[in-house]
Structure 1
Amino acid sequence: MPSGSHRAPTRLSSAAPRTPWCPRAEAAVPQLDTVQTDSTHRPEFVYGEAQLSKYRAQLDWMERLALEPEDSRRFIRDLVRQL
């Protein structure tokens, strides 16, 4: 990835999110699943199955590690109190 570029995976879909606090959806027709990556030059769209599998695995990993919303708020409040 070139220096100065920012890429954030975003899964586009018309399906409902899997959880209310982690909006992740997959298309009703799997062939329509798409990841959009943004960079300083232009957005790119990824739709190859091998590439999508990589993004799905990364999102699954992040979901497993993420705090629940209330735990996140508590963590942030605790940090602010320590300042």
Structure 2
Amino acid sequence: MMTNEKSTGGNWIDPDDAPKLTQDWADGADAYVGQTLVRRGRPKLEQTKQHVSLRLDPDVIASFKAGGPGWQARINEALRKAARL
């Protein structure tokens, strides 16, 4: 029989053995400054982008994707130039 080489070995911990969560733990889960909850993640933009569904020719998409990551932003910039904004 073959063995799985990706085995976790002897370091595996049974999730049923996890410590009991207490109210003290829950109280520390959210960070506050005074009475204000500190938001995590990216800050909200003044002007958010709008989701649209757009059909483009495959060769157009391939051309922008060939430029690597950020291809959607490059399409947005090309459309902005075309609209002269």
Q: TM-score range by the shorter chain?
A: under 0.3
TM-score (normalised: structure 2): 0.24
Structure of larger gyration radius? 2
TM-score (normalised: structure 1): 0.25
Query: Using CA pairs below 8 Å that are at least 6 residues apart, which structure has the higher relative contact order?
Result: 1
